[in-house]
Structure formats: structure tokens, C-alpha cells
Amino acid sequence: MKKTGAFYKQDHACTFCVWAPEKEQVTLHLIRPEDRSFAMTKDEEGYYSVTVENVVPGAQYYYHIDGQDLPDPASGWQPADIYGPSAVVDHEAYAWQDQQWHGMPFKDMVLYELHVGTFSPEGTFEGIIPYLDDLKDTGINALELMPVCQFPGERNWGYDGVFQYAVHHSYGGPEGLKKLVDACHQRGIAVFLDVVYNHLGGEGNSFHHFGPYFSQIYSIPWGSAINFDGAYSDGPKGYFANNVIHWLEQYHIDGLRLDAVHCIFDNSAVTLWEVIRDKVAQLTATTGRKYYLIGESDLNSPAILKNPSDGGMGLDAQWLDDFHHILYVLLDKEGQARYADFNQLEQLAKAYKDGFVHTGEYVQFRKRRYGRSSAGISGEHFVVFNQNHDQIGNRVKGERLSVLVDQGRLKVAAAAIFLSPYVPMLFMGEEYGEDNPFFFFVSYKEEEHIKGIQEGRKKEFESFLKEGEMFPDPQSEETFIQSKLDWGKRKRGKYRELLEWHKALIQLRRSNEVLQNMCKDDLFVQLIGGKGYVLHRQSRNGMEHLLCLFNLSEEVLEYEMPGFKKEWNKIMDAGAHTEKMRVGELLQLQPVSVVIFG
């Protein structure tokens, strides 16, 4: 499985390699700074290659195949968008300043998902850098960038990107991403990148001209599945497995979040997952750094975390959607319409204690038994959140949680994830209660794709549209502009109050040894009258205890303080009128509140 793409050498020579196993001829066509063409040589596995002298960084080229010029599937840069020529990138030219960065344990991270185009007014990688100190001051120490590989146009979530190795031109291209990662590492902030290996975008996709990248066996919702186990599957498998190393090695990325891994199908004896894990292990041996792979999965299966040799995917962690669903339903009375199978406080207790809520029961939404228990798997293997791009952007009005519930419930929601035994993640702006929407948006060029996405989104959400209500046009630039953060809010009023609450929670999580214990066997949940709960956390040696009391109702709840300690001292709260409590005393837990005693 050779690496494909353009590999620049410091002596101004460049080797070009492309996979096209069924083609009789492929020609490299350099178009800038001068027009030159070179026949390429094919090996036994279908890889064409040629080394050319006197090539400068930024040189633009196509592969001439089937009578037409086409961009490189492994292009590292598309300066003129998806239909333009590919460009040579000199990865050795950037002078990295992050030599002191050695990464951090995943369990210590506070992840922060952001969309590059809407995070700052500039909508670029470099536009993020001025805000890094504020994020660090909040306690955030890991960015998770939504996909940045080349997609059509200027505006997009990135999940229908085409060129998996190319950094989007409107965000700042390869150098812009390196500057951002460098700036993050110098501040002690890790960087994760969201990648999509289950399909490729439709507009500008010419991969079928090169080889059988796509499967005829499997069906997925967003287009053709990738061919990871059929005839000629070595090419696609190498393309995507090498892409993992591309981001980790060339851009110093600390880890990847892999989109919808349940739609990646590979029944080979040696799967894509095993190839990836071997390559990552080799890179770790070279650099001495630990890299992390996080999966988004719709399977509710702990096999995601198993070693590939044991039939798993070998991922380090996965998103815990069940935690979001049940907590949201308990906080927002309208949530039941979206998540009909989540409706009991006992399910939240199960999410804290075990992980997955659905572990083999019959689920109405699925029309089948669904899931398997994740009990016994330690908390650092799960990521929890109250909001993410999907949960906000897949609503008709793109409402954030701050628009759906009041300030008290926002504080309860934040405490629920930061006091959990899991790795917490915030969506950009959540820390101060941003209330601008986050819509789904695109900027396609072809009328077929524009109409397809407009009609598809409208049909998908027509059951949520009220009479006379219009669905925001994803193609409209205004939809994109409305989705930008208003960063100045965080300094005033209720926004500042919520920001300070998040800071305090993150600081408590980071400084308290009890919250450092991510073993779920040392955690207990007690329900209070079906309207609240006590999250009892303890240290590994059982000597230190925290009582995290949550009231999700509109009425005062009473709780008798337990006998683990003679006296309990309040650490922080959003709704209590006492500083100390003794064993056996009744605590008056105020409506919609959380109180922490230690």
C-alpha cells in the first residue's frame, strides 16, 4: 500500500504517485509555473509514479487520464477549489516551534469542538489564534476541528469533502493549519481533527476515473461506501490508512475523530482498522508521542474499543450519544419528541454507571433489540457532551441548548458532564451560552447538488416544521453568516456568569483527586424521588468522597446526608443555602440546581 500524492524533495525533485490499477496509461501534466508532461510508470499493484526534476513548491498539476485532466485524489492542496489543479506542498519548509509539546493523557482533556469558518469573523485557521488564550483561561486544553479537507466552495460543515489530504483553501491551506496547531501546542492545547472515511463528497468527485474506490456491496445514507474489502481494495485501504499518518505526521495533529465508523465496512482478514493501528504504533515508536483515535458510532457496541486482532476497531474512545439523549430529555420537556426511547431518570443513572443506556433492550426507534453493555469500561474511553454540531445543526432553527432551556438548566447540564467519569466536550460558544444558531450550510457549484441538498434537508425535517415555517436555505450565505459566534457576549451579563460556572467546574475537575478517578466501579448514583439524583464519586483508595446533588425539578427536594463523613462542606453550587451539613441532616435542594459537597 504505497503512499500516493506529490512528495517534494529539498533538491527540487518531486515524486508523483497515483493509484489507477485498471488504466493503461496515466500522464503527469504540470501546468504551472511551466507547462510540461511526463509519462508515468505502472507497477504490479497498479500504482503509477514518476520523479521530476526542477519542481518548485506550489507547482500546479493534473493527472491526464481518460482523455481529461483531473486533480490528484491525494492532493495536498487545492488552491483553486475542487475543480482546479492540485499543488505541490513542501512540508519541510514550515519551521515548527512546538518541540516542547509531548501531548497529554486523553483522560485529562477538555475537548472543544469548533467549526473553523464560523468560529471567528475571519473564518480561518489564523483567525482562531487570538482566542486561544481565552480558551486556555477557561480550562479548555484540546480543540476538535470539524473537517477541514477540501470541500466544494467556501462554506460547508466539511463532511462531504472530496480531497482527504488537502487542507481547505478558504481556511488558510496547509500553512494556516500548521500555524494553528503550532500556536495551540505552544499554549499546551492539543488539536484533534474530524475526518470522514465512510464516503467521499459527490460534487467534484472524480475518484472513479482512477480506480474502484467505491463498493457495490454496501449501502450508506450519504453516497457510495468505500471499497475496503472487495477486488482492488488495497488502493482505497492504503489511501485512507495513510491519510491518518498524513495528519499526525505532517500537521502534528494529536488525534482524529472518525465520523460514523458504523458505515465503514471491511470483512477482510486484515481490516482497515488493523492497518491503521499498526501505522499509528509505528509513528508512536518514532516520535514517542501518543496519538488518539475517537469514533462516532451508532452501534452502542464496546467492540469499537477492542483490538482489531480481536475483531474490534482498536479506537481509544467513542462518543457517548446516549448520555446526551437522556440528559437532554430530562432538561427540556420538548426533548421527548426527538428521543422517545429516553424518558426515565434511571436511564441517566445507567449512563453514569455503565455508559450505554440501550444495552440489548427493544428500542422503538430502532424497531429491534439494540446495543450491548459497556459496563466495566473505564470512563476515559467515552466522550460526553450536551451539544455538538449534529445536535444543534440538525434542528430546524439550529437552536443551541441556551435557546431551549433557562440559565439554571444550562448550569445543571454543564455540571452533569464535568462531574461525570467521562471526557467532557463543549461545542464552540457553549461555555458562555452563545445563542446564535448553528445551521447546516453549503456553497455548492452545481445546480444538481444545490437542489438535492435543499430538497433533501427540507424533506428530512418536514415533520418538525410548523405551518408556514420556512426551513433555512443551506445554500444561502446568510445561513452561514447567522451561524457565526458573537465572542463579545462572553464578557457580559448572563453569558459571563455561565462562563465563570464552566471555569469553576473545569478547575474542580482538574484539581480534585476524586474527579480524577475515571473508574465507574467507584461511582454510585442514588435517585431522589424520581426528580433528582446524587452522584457519589470517590477516590481510588475510597478515602475521599464527593456528593454531587442534582435537582431537575421545579420543587424543593430533601436529601438526608449520608455517613461517609461526619461533616460535609459545600465546594460549589448553583442553588443551596448552607455551607456545612452533618450526617443525618436534611438538605433542602433548591429547584433546578446542583450542589457539590466534599
**Which residues are known binding-site members for substrate?**
257-262, 321-325, 389-394
**Is 298 a residue of the active site?**
no
Confirm if 189 and 132 have CB atoms less than 8 A apart: yes
Instruction: Tell whether omega for the bond before 79 is within 30 degrees of 0, i.e. cis.
Output: no
- C-beta pairs of 342-345 under 8 Å, 24+ apart in sequence: 345/527, 345/530, 345/531, 345/533, 345/552
Pairing of strands 557-560, 567-573: unpaired
108 catalytic residue (yes or no): no
CA dihedral of 514, 517, 519, 521, whole degrees rounded to 10: -20
Task: HSE, CB side, 13 Å, CA atoms: give it for residue 323.
Answer: 29
Check if the beta carbon of residue 571 is closer than 8 Å to that of residue 597. yes
Active-site residue, selected from the candidate residues 296, 341, 431, 573: 296
Cα 145 to Cα 116, 180, 257, 579: the distances in Å are 7, 11, 9, 41
Q: What are phi and psi of 530, to 5 degrees?
A: 70, 10
* Number of Cβ within a 10 Å radius of residue 246: 18
- Please answer whether residues 214 and 207 qualify as being in contact, where contact means their C-beta atoms are separated by less than 8 angstroms: yes
Residue 74 burial by Cβ neighbours in a 10 Å radius (0-12, 13-18, 19+): buried
Beta bridge partners of 443: none
Per-residue exposure over 255-270, b if at least 16 CB sit within 10 Å of its own CB, e if not:
bbbbbbbbbbbbeeee
Work out the end-to-end distance of the chain between its first and last CA atoms, rounded to an integer number of angstroms.
55
Distance CA(474)–CA(476), nearest Å, equals: 6
Residue stretches of the annotated binding site: 257-262, 321-325, 389-394
Length of the chain: 598
Q: Which of 143, 166, 17 is nearest to 77 (CA)?
A: 166
Q: Which position among 90, 254, 259, 431 bears the catalytic label?
A: 259
Q: DSSP states of 213-256 as a string?
A: -EEEEEEETTEEEE-SSSTTTHHHHHHHHHHHHHHHHHS---EE
SS3 192: strand
Give catalytic residue positions: 259, 296
